Amino acid sequence: MKTCTKCGVEKPFSSFRKQAAGRDGYRASCKECCDKYQIKYNADNPARVREIKNGWASRNKESRAAYGKQHRADNVDWYKQYHQDYVAKNKAAVMAYRSQWQKDNKDKRCESAKKSAAKNPEKRNLRCAKRRSDKLNRTPCWAGGELDVLIKQEAFAKARQMTISTGIQHHVDHIVPLRGDVVSGLHIWNNLQILSASDNASKGNNFTSTEVYA
């Protein structure tokens, strides 16, 4: 038995934590008193506690990363469900975050689009084929007149020239997308514009123009 120096109660040694440096190999105060002290200390010194925690986190970065990775691998379904629930509950915030992220990470999006195209060439080919057929379907019978053809050729030549002079890939783009969510544009000269590749990638099929194109 040992008497706690904090509460003065005599308790069995099992009620004390071990401390190699202690006279009898145990701490002076009992577990209960130690815990009370720790809780009070934490409440009184939030900044210091955070500091200690952060220090520990940065010293154990690798083991923490490994633990997190393993945990995610072991609980794939749980994480999936959690993510789905979170998105469902916070739809507006998630959408706002995504659209901001897309604006801020044009280069990353370009890069990942390239990567996925290289990974799934069939998918990309399918998309291109669909795009070509949409283009044909969106070319009205009265288009293709001399002026229309001339301006289209000019636009493609100009895009090529801009690519060469700026070193940044430029595309001829449809101002009103051919396959927009709200409206579909036509493959005619006054629906064309020249955009840099990253601008074009970030534009997607969003129809934002308020002008009316014939």
Local structure of 26: helix, strand or coil: strand
The strand pair at 192-196 and 170-174 is best described as antiparallel
Structure-token match 């636009």, residue found: 155
Kindly tell me which of 30 and 194 has the beta carbon lying closer to Zn ion. 30
Of the chain, the end-to-end C-alpha distance in Å amounts to: 95
Give the one residue of 7, 87, 128, 183 binding Zn ion; rule: CB under 5 A: 7
Give the one residue of 4, 176, 186, 188 binding Zn ion; rule: CB under 5 A: 4
In the complex, least distance from residue 32 CB atom to Zn ion, rounded to whole angstroms: 5
**What count of other Cβ atoms lies within 10 Å of the Cβ of residue 113?**
13
Kindly tell me which of 6 and 152 has the beta carbon lying closer to Zn ion. 6
Query: Judged by CB under 5 A, which stretch of 1-9, 139-147, 152-160, 162-170 contacts Zn ion?
Result: 1-9
Q: What is the number of the residue whose Cβ is closest to Zn ion?
A: 4
* Residue 159 makes contact with Zn ion by CB under 5 A: no
Nearest to 201 by CA among 110, 97, 103: 110
* Residue 109 makes contact with Zn ion by CB under 5 A: no
Binding mask 24-63 for Zn ion (x = CB under 5 A): ------x--x------------------------------
| CB contact at 8 A, 208 and 176 | no
Beta strand ranges found along the chain (DSSP E): 2-3, 10-11, 170-174, 192-196
Given the rule CB under 5 A, which residues bind Zn ion? 4, 6-7, 30, 33
